[in-house]
Amino acid sequence: MTNSDNKCLSPPIYLDYNSTTPLHQDVIDAMIPYLKSFGNPSSSHYYGFETKFAVELARKQVCECISCDLDELIFTSGGTESNNYAIKGALMSKYQTTEKYHVITSKIEHPSVLEVFKYFENKGYFDVDYLNIKPNGLVDLEQLKYLLRKNTIFISVMHSNNEIGTLQPIKQITSLCKQFNPTIIVHTDASQSIGKVSVNVNDLGVDLLTICSHKFYGPKGIGALYIHHGVKLDPLFHGGGHEMCRRSGTENVLEIVGLGKACELVTKELEDRNLLMKRMTKRLYDGLVNKIGKNFIRVNGDQQLKLPNTLNISFPNIEANQILNEIGDKVAISTGAACHSTNESAYSPVLKALGLSSDIAKGTIRLSTGIYTTEKEIDNAVKIMSDTINKLKPDQLSNDTTTEEVEIKLTSLTKGMGCGCKLRPKDLNSILNQIPKQFPNPNVLVGSDTCDDAGVYKLRDDLAIVQTTDFFTPICDNPFDFGRIACANAISDIYAMGGTPISALNLVMFPSGKLPWSVLKRILEGAQEKAQEAGVYILGGHSIIDQEPKFGLAVTGTIHPDKVWKNSTAKAGNYLCLTKPIGTSIIQTGVKRQIINDENLQSLAIETMARLNKYACECLRDNDIQVNVCTDVTGFGLLGHLKEVCLGSHVGAQVYAQSVPLIDHEKIAEKYGRMNECISGGTSANFEFTKDVVDYDTTLQEHWKMILNDAQTSGGLLFGIEKQDLEKTLNAFKEKQVFIQCIGQFDEHNATNSSSMIRVKNEKLFQ
């Protein structure tokens, strides 16, 4: 295995089998011949017969695994499709009637079930009830009895939960429903169950059952749906009438063969697999209890009615993401279901349904063993995890140790990073537009009614004060660097107005029970060093206890009332210049997610963010360069801030993508910028915010659109100058060795066509 910089690494211990499983070698061997067997199973000749036989053999193998007849099973593309088809196929014709029917599911279903029910509910097609979950993870059967109505026609409850492993009493649920009304259709998602526990559709009594191949050592992208005799489903796909006219589309022979073989192995090996996984999971739990202490570990879900391989545990007052960041390169685990992993705004809905407090839920991890898990792996994983968790215990971190004694990864304590965790521009604007305007004040030169970087208040004819505040969560792991960057970023707003910063107040939000005080000391030292460089005196500040570390400053500066730079005064024909390269969010997101391990690149990003915009501001002021418009590029990204400038100034702009500077052009433009894993949530929100005004060149590659919307932290000044001043400006910056790049021009804009307010060209400004 190699990392992104081609350094050899030992592969981490894999304890995330509920997310996916590796292909079994016997499955691989069964599939290989069908890489060459190309026949269409619907064709009436030798090549078709060959693949048709393989498909039907696989159907037989799957049916034997769950004890159903051959004509009760169809192949799908996986668990998500099976769940969607089971629900939509059964209900599709029902919402076209005048009667409004009632359906039931539980609060802890997979999103491919829950989202379908929510869709029907939001459309008003059905009345939907969501079963509560008891503290042990089981659905409330008494509530189910109460919820059943005469017009109840469908219920879906998963066989086993993918996060906590709890096995639901499906047989009892089916019995209750059928006794109440035999026509109620019962569906269960058994994606996590097959291969771990016995799944027999006759014992369960269900009408529909979902199967997902990659959860039990088969290939991804293939699954199946059991459909009991007599249950009619409207087809989702119409066409060739494949799969008994229930699922049109030429069969995926290769993966169907893999699914069949995986099911055959389950039929033969289930008991041995069950015992092995149960033994490995117990060894894992016992080892953690021995090393960490039983009182500091909470086990979630019923411990009797559960999958043999799943251990869902919580560590109070420790962030699960912090644990993952610490051990991710050594042990592969998860904080919940893979389908929720991109949602960093909240903890798992399953844990919410269990009623866990936020302090416990946020410290929850899921461990899942498999048939390839060894005792040695378990023992090594126990040591790695226990060492990390013992280090992160609040009673350990609260000791007054030095930063060097306790290695802290600040970014692991937060969901977002730096300016990228600002409120989304669209949401913020919608709120601000609802706030009544303040009373007029002739001394307010720049106030809250614009999108400027700071406020300006005139004290006398020759003096005004500039006021701003900015704070955010860590953008890097080193506390000293975090302090430097946060300070440079906060002061930048004064420079963006053309002012001179003079004083500041620290804003501290600190998780005192999670981090040693030495971390806060280093943050403040970093800020003070940068403030001293800027000539700013820190007068004091304010602090509160918070779940996540945050730091920033409230800054005051001075300016002549007639020399204020605004972000709403751009002129058509002006050149557009930028004083720092972009790409900070791509780099730091990649570092946080352990994709980027390039220390030089990370150091370059940190120094770029820590660089004061003082020097760019002085170059412009000292050389009497007429700045018609100015802002600094931070969380809304280059195009987001440019959108605010264009809207406020009633002008358009042309941006030349090939002239936009990147911190490391080759690594960002050709490598990390192409990786979705390096794109932060803030960057994606910026793209949504700007897409209504940006017209991208048709030749511009998709990843460049995200780069131009990358959520910057402590970015450069973005300003407009007269054409005749360009050469003078470039020479002034060159003489002072301050970075500058001309990236575009402002132009006239037709207000009736907002989609082309900003045009991004895939070329250089000056050829």
Whose tokens are 């919402």? That residue is 95
Contact criterion met (CB below 8 Å) for 105 and 131: yes
57, 65, 50: which is closest to 195 by C-alpha?
65
| Catalytic (active-site) positions | 339
- d(C-alpha 642, C-alpha 623), whole Å: 25
- 465 sits in which H/E element: strand 463-472
Where are any strands of DSSP class E within 51-205? Answer: 73-76, 102-106, 127-131, 152-156, 185-189
Contact criterion met (CB below 8 Å) for 128 and 100: no
137, 162, 144, 161: which is closest to 103 by C-alpha?
144
- d(C-alpha 553, C-alpha 540), whole Å: 10
- 321 sits in which H/E element: helix 320-327
Chain CA centroid to CA 661, Å: 27
Contact criterion met (CB below 8 Å) for 479 and 408: yes
248, 201, 249, 204: which is closest to 227 by C-alpha?
201
Contact criterion met (CB below 8 Å) for 628 and 567: no
271, 174, 264, 190: which is closest to 223 by C-alpha?
190
Q: What's the CA dihedral at 74, 75, 76, 81 to 10 degrees?
A: 40
- d(C-alpha 335, C-alpha 481), whole Å: 28
- d(C-alpha 576, C-alpha 77), whole Å: 50
- d(C-alpha 183, C-alpha 154), whole Å: 9
Instruction: List the structure tokens of 580.
Output: 């720092």
Chain CA centroid to CA 232, Å: 38
Contact criterion met (CB below 8 Å) for 633 and 709: no
Where helices occur in 404-478 by DSSP H, the ranges are 425-432
- d(C-alpha 72, C-alpha 62), whole Å: 11
- d(C-alpha 69, C-alpha 59), whole Å: 9
Strand 463-472 to strand 455-460: parallel, antiparallel, or no bridges (unpaired)? antiparallel
Helix (H, G, I), strand (E, B) or coil at 598: coil
Whose tokens are 């500039």? That residue is 466
- d(C-alpha 555, C-alpha 503), whole Å: 6
Helix (H, G, I), strand (E, B) or coil at 371: coil
Chain CA centroid to CA 735, Å: 43
Per DSSP, 303 falls in state S
- d(C-alpha 280, C-alpha 531), whole Å: 54
- d(C-alpha 263, C-alpha 592), whole Å: 38
Chain CA centroid to CA 49, Å: 46
* Alpha-carbon distance values, 195 to 65, 172, 222 (Å): 9, 22, 15
- d(C-alpha 149, C-alpha 99), whole Å: 14
532, 98, 40: which is closest to 242 by C-alpha?
40
Residue 539 has a CB neighbour count (10 Å cut-off) of 11
